[in-house]
Amino acid sequence: MRDDHSIEQDWAGYSETEHATWRALFARQKGLLPGRAADAFLNGLSRLPIFGEGIPDFDALNEVLFKTTQWRLVAVPGLVPDEVFFDHLANRRFPAARFIRRPEQMDYLEEPDIFHDVFGHAPMLMLPAFADYMQAYGKGGLRALRLGVLERLARVYWYTVEFGLVQEKAGLRIYGSGIVSSRSESMFCLEDPSPHRLAFELRRVLRTRYRIDDFQECYFVIRGFDQLLELAEIDFTPIYRSVETLPDIAPGDLSADDRVITRGTGAYHKTKS
């Protein structure tokens, strides 16, 4: 392992069982995502050498990704320390786990694996606005560590990059990597009546706790990816200060100022049944 925690992907070292796990995960999500995933996600996926046959080769991916938005994937053994993670993002490198889940973990695992990191994250990095937002998050993460406000900033990443929804003309769509890489949550987040779907509001997000052990009870909806680019351009320091004394909000709670996005007309349309 290098100082920045990166390792070789060693693509030739994957076993047939590992490629078979990828194939099964890919086939399952591919069928679910038309009509559910954001256009930008589907478009990014279609332009990258991410296929159903087996685990992608980072060298081939990086050739396309780097040419498009100057991002690249670097292989890591698993979770890396916050500071290392942010430093990679600030330099337009996405640390992606080399390992794939075991066959008995098809539906759930705690740590991000290569399917989550590559299938879930790489397609959005093909969109210039999103690519710039991710880099800004890395820089902001390094600042937040110094200011002691990482717990609050991490919620912005969670509710956008990992579990974000976007309002498109055709309806509500998924762009969060934690959702697009999960069979059950990609249905739950759009179709289940129970979770709150709220218009994205920065101060509200900074205060909202999240669940790591179950489906989200709350999703935040952006108007489009320009909204993320706006976040990349503002100074968070006065905003941290303005919410410093305000209490956290539980993920299942609603407050009077929340703008609830209904799933009514134009929300989610099935394109096939």
Spell out where the chain has E strands. Answer: 72-76, 93-97, 165-168, 171-174, 196-199, 218-222
Stretch that binds Fe ion, among 48-56, 100-108, 145-153, 172-180 (CB under 5 A): 172-180
Cα-Cα-Cα-Cα dihedral sign, residues 161, 129, 79, 36: positive
Stretch that binds Fe ion, among 53-61, 88-96, 102-110, 173-181 (CB under 5 A): 173-181
Q: Taking CB under 6 A as the rule, does residue 80 contact ligand HBI?
A: yes
Q: Taking CB under 6 A as the rule, does residue 157 contact ligand HBI?
A: yes
Q: Report in angstroms how near the CB of residue 186 gets to ligand HBI at its nearest.
A: 19
Alpha carbons 174 and 187: distance in angstroms, whole number: 10
Fill in the DSSP letter of residue 164: -
CA distances from 215 to 74, 166, 173, 183, 193 (A): 28, 18, 17, 11, 13
Q: Taking CB under 6 A as the rule, does residue 85 contact ligand HBI?
A: yes
Residue 194 CB: number of other CB atoms within 10 A? 8
Site mask for ligand HBI (CB under 6 A), range 26-65, x = bound: ----------------------------------------
- Considering CB distances under 5 to 8 angstroms, the limit depending on partner class, which of ligand HBI, Fe ion, none binds residue 175? none
Number of residues that bind ligand HBI (CB under 6 A): 9
- Considering CB distances under 5 to 8 angstroms, the limit depending on partner class, which of Fe ion, ligand HBI, none binds residue 154? ligand HBI
| Ramachandran angles phi, psi of 195, nearest 5° | -75, 150
Q: Report in angstroms how near the CB of residue 158 gets to ligand HBI at its nearest.
A: 8
Q: Taking CB under 6 A as the rule, does residue 76 contact ligand HBI?
A: yes
- Of 44, 56, 95, 120, the one binding ligand HBI (CB under 6 A) is 95
Q: Taking CB under 6 A as the rule, does residue 20 contact ligand HBI?
A: no
Fill in the DSSP letter of residue 160: I
Alpha carbons 48 and 268: distance in angstroms, whole number: 26
* Residue (93 or 268) nearer to ligand HBI, CB: 93
Alpha carbons 3 and 70: distance in angstroms, whole number: 22
Site mask for Fe ion (CB under 5 A), range 100-119, x = bound: ------------x-------
Q: Taking CB under 6 A as the rule, does residue 236 contact ligand HBI?
A: no
Stretch that binds ligand HBI, among 78-86, 179-187, 195-203, 241-249 (CB under 6 A): 78-86
> Maximum CA pair distance of the chain?
55
Residue with tokens 């200060």: 241
The count of C-alpha atoms lying within 13 angstroms of the C-alpha of 158, restricted to the half-sphere facing its C-beta, is 20
* Residue (114 or 261) nearer to ligand HBI, CB: 114
Residue with tokens 């994205």: 200
Nearest CA to 89 out of 130, 56, 49, 60 is that of: 130
**Residues of the shown chain interacting with ligand HBI in the complex, contacts defined by CB under 6 A:** 76, 79-80, 82, 85, 95, 112, 154, 157
Binding site for Fe ion (CB under 5 A): 112, 177
